[in-house]
Homo-oligomer: A and B are copies of this chain.
């Protein structure tokens, strides 16, 4: 019975963390931008205490930079950061893909196929925003498939840091086509439950993604 579930009382600081995290990872606040506590407090209608707690958490996630006595800024993403993060994402997604092949239900894999078809539709239509979103959903679904909450959380934190960079990057038509094909191959490997191949393809896919982001 749903009515017997514990009522989720969202704490203010928790809500603020989520709102701010979305704001930053979705790219609505440019990197390097100063975060004014007072202004944000008024915008959200909360006092400085929960806001500052949220900023500390986001700083530990690497989304904001805290400078003593100077407050918070949205963290910048350097080329070096991308060089650091992508090898880790490759390792993590490879690991997740391998586990997902072993653990995902057939139904979950069919759902992945639905997403893939949907994404190919966005590609055909040339809808970059929708493509990007479905792409994101596919990567997350594979991660969910590994059923390792720690891996999911670790990946999410790192992926969040570079999501903005991926938003901004506009792929060439050739690269876009290639990316869709890579995704198709990944899905075949998953449907065949070939863990090693899935891992390998995911790593290559991410490696290529890194190259398209290179400035």
Report which A residues bind B (CB closer than 8 A): 9, 11, 13, 49, 52-54, 56-57, 59-62, 68-69, 81, 84-85, 87-88, 91-92, 94-95, 99, 148-151, 153-154, 158
Contacts and interface: CB of A to CB of B under 8 A. Distances in A.
Contact of A158 (B11, B61, B62, B154): B154
A69 B154 contact: no
A15 B169 CA distance: 39
A59 B9 CA distance: 18
A91 B148 CA distance: 14
Number of copies: 2
B56 A13 contact: yes
A52 B12 CA distance: 14
A16 B91 CA distance: 33
Contacts of A53: 52-53, 56
Contact of A151 (B84, B94, B151): B84
A97 to B, nearest CB: 12
A201 to B, nearest CB: 17
A6 to B, nearest CB: 10
5 contacts: A84-B150, A84-B151, A88-B92, A88-B148, A88-B154
A154 B154 CA distance: 8
A150 B91 contact: no
Given A49-B49, A154-B154, 4 more contacts: A52-B53, A84-B148, A84-B150, A87-B95
Contacts of A68: 9, 11
Contacts of A60: 57, 60-61
Contact of A91 (B9, B52, B84, B91): B91
